Each structure stands twice: as structure tokens, then as C-alpha cells.
Amino acid sequence: MSLLDKVKTLSLAYSEEIIALRRHLHAHPELSYKEFNTVKYVAQQLRTMGIEPQEGVGATGLVAEIKGRNPERRTIALRADMDALPIQEANNVPYRSKNDGVMHACGHDAHTASLLGTAKILHEVSDQFEGTVRMLFQPGEEKNPGGASYMIRDGALENPRPSGIIGQHVFPLLPAGKIGFREGMYMASADEIYLKVIGKGGHGAAPELCIDPIVIASHIIIALQQIISRNASPKQPTVLTFGNITGFGATNIIPNEVNIAGTFRAMNEVWRSSALQKIKKMAESIAEGMGGKCEVDISMGYPYLENNPELTRRIKAAAMEYVGEENVVDIDITLGAEDFAYYSQVIPASFYRIGTRNEAKGITAYVHTPTFDIDEDALKISPGLMAWMALEELK
């Protein structure tokens, strides 16, 4: 039996175990940087396989290595994220979240379970490859500043530095069994914009005695969109969205202040920096010109993600070997963000998508929704697929 066939056989043989791991994780979700029980569970599973993890990396993350023959020859890194979201689950399934208001609505339970399966497979075939596979079980992907930055800070990409890193993410727009790739620019940077517009409140029937922060805020929101339409190149994907505005006045009360919150997305670091400066300057200037004041707080988020073309081509070829050319597709860019981008700033990185949609089973909900779920048939493929990618990279 070839090594490829053995990996496929093991992935299928372990699939029920991996699905059970995923269901346990789904039922016991934990928020970003609070993955205390999750990381203990992952460490316990690795030790059961005979793999001793390094805990406390990135605070609530861990690193584990599978060493083949001649382990110093080359190292490749694989990554899974472990945190959940502050969402109340609406699914009526046996593995429904037991933690009120917390849900694995982005598939991180599947990522973690899948990488545990990959570890099990690679550990079993460790006498059949040369080099080392380093697995990063990462906290806090859903919340600034991003757990990846903490993993890097704590040396997860050092001693020795891997030749590259591979990450996967569930994709509910792609049918289970399909794998998606994108070379080059793929995901956006994500910064949080908080504006406090300060005026002078009073009676709604006497606006001349007030400085109306609602009117000022309205002008700011409309004007800032001109930064996107008039300053950004039409060839450069970029988005500015304000999703929250609160004033706490009434029909006849002008409030003292208005708070606005939004997100800025870009796919170029030079433009990102320039645009954020323009947002700050324009918001402050408009408020001042209308007699008020605007305090601008920008929370810098993840950088944009660029998939290393050479690495992506290689793992795409490995995927074609594993699932067949007909099941490998090219996917479009997205203005969604991922802290996996931090790794791409240090070493060659590639982030691919694994299909989890099944319309016949009614599994169609998008990520970050209360009804999100995956077709678990994807977990029959994903552990072996990532193992095979790693093995091909070690060649």
C-alpha cells in the first residue's frame, strides 16, 4: 500500500473518532482567550496518542510536534484555532452548545478536531517520512489582537523556523468533498473604528441652544464613505461599514453625545495606513467645523492575508492527488479577515477552504449565525488531506 493510500485509509478509519471529538468541542465552546478547558482537552487527546504537547504557548494555546526520521531535515507547520463566538445556538442537535450564549459558529471545533486527526495519522506513519510537523492549536482568532500574534510572540515559529505554514477553514458555500484554493491576495485586514461625537444636548424644540451630535454624526458617516469612493483605487478592494450608532436621546431630546462603531477592511497595507489617517482627520474636522468634537479610537486588527503562490500551488497539487482534480476549485477573494495573516508575515503561508455544505441535509447556514453547522462527512477527508499536504511539503 502506498503512503497516500495509507493516509486515506487512516483518515477514514479514524473519522468516527474525529467526529466525536468535534461534537465534544462543539458542546463545550469557550470564548477567545478563555479556552481553558478546550486546551486541556486537546492536550489530553494528544497525550492519549503518545504525543507530548508544549502548553502555555500564546497563553491558552499549545504546540505539538510529530517527528519523523531525520527530524532536523525540515519542519512544516499546521494550524487550527480553538475559540468560539458569543452567539446563542439555535440548532436542535445532540451536540448543541451547553454553554449559554457561546457557540462554535465558525467551525473552529471542526478545525481543532481535524488537526487532532492529522496528528494521529502522522504519528502512525512517522517512520515513513523525514522531517518534523509542528501543530499549532491557537486561541483567540475571533478577537483582537488575534491569538496568532501571541503564538508568534511565544516562539511558535522558531527553533527551528518552519519552511511554511498551512491552515484550513470550513466553507459553507462549498459542498462537502470540495476543496478551495486562492493564490496571492485572499483576505482583508480588519480594523475597528470607534467614534465618539460630542455636542451639547438639550430640548429638541430649541436646537439653536444645542450642538446636535446626531446631525454631526450623520454628516461624518456619509462623508467618510467618500474616502472609499474617491480616494481608494477602483482596483483595490476596500470596505468601510458602520454597524452601530447610539445616541440615547428621544423625540424631543438632543443627546450630549453619539457613539458610532464600524469596521474598515483593506487588502493593501500602504492604503490601509493612509485610509485610517484620512478617517481620523475627516471625522475630527467635520465635528470641529460644526461646533462639536469627535474622539476617534482605531483598534488595529489583523493584517491582510496573502497566500504564498508557490506553497499554495504545491498544496493544491497535493489536494488534487488526495481528492481528485474534479474536487479542487479556485475561490475568490473575500473581505473577511483572519489572524492567520500574521503567520504569513513571518514565513510562507497558505490558507485553504474545505467545503462543509450539504443542501440535502439542510446544512446551508453561513458562519457566525445561530444555525451554523457542518456536514461532518468533511471530517472523513480533512485530517488525511492536511496530513498528506504536510508529507508532500516535507519531501
Grid cell 459558529 in the structure block, residue: 105
Domain that holds residue 244: 189-299
Q: What is the pLDDT of residue 30?
A: 98
Query: Which distant-in-sequence residues (6+ apart) come within 8 Å of 362 by Cβ?
Result: none
Catalytic site positions? 302, 376
E strands, 188-286, are 189-198, 202-203, 238-246, 253-254, 257-266
Give the CATH number of the domain where residue 251 resides.
Answer: 3.30.70.360
Give the CATH number of the domain where residue 36 resides.
Answer: 3.40.630.10
Q: What is the pLDDT of residue 366?
A: 97
Sign of CA dihedral 26, 29, 33, 34: negative
Q: How far apart are CA 345 and CA 235, in angstroms?
A: 23
- Verify that 116 and 196 share a domain, yes or no: no
Supply φ then ψ for residue 150, to 5 degrees.
-75, -35
Q: How far apart are CA 160 and CA 133, in angstroms?
A: 11
Residue numbers of the chain with a pLDDT score lower than 50? none
Q: What is the pLDDT of residue 78?
A: 98
Name the domain boundary from 281, 299, 317: 299
Q: What is the pLDDT of residue 254?
A: 97
Q: What is the pLDDT of residue 303?
A: 95
- Verify that 181 and 313 share a domain, yes or no: yes
Flag whether the pTM goes above 0.85. yes
- Verify that 175 and 310 share a domain, yes or no: yes
Q: Is residue 193 within 8 Å of residue 379, measured between CB atoms?
A: no
Q: What is the pLDDT of residues 177-206, one digit of tens each?
A: 999 999 999 999 999 999 999 999 999 999
Q: What is the DSSP letter of 227?
A: I
- Verify that 193 and 182 share a domain, yes or no: no
Cell of 163: 519552511
**CB neighbourhood size of 368 (10 A):** 13
Q: How far apart are CA 262 and CA 276, in angstroms?
A: 12
- Verify that 194 and 182 share a domain, yes or no: no
Q: 289-308 b/e with 16+ CB inside 10 Å = b?
A: ebebbbebeeeebbbbbbbb
Name the domain boundary from 299, 325, 350: 299
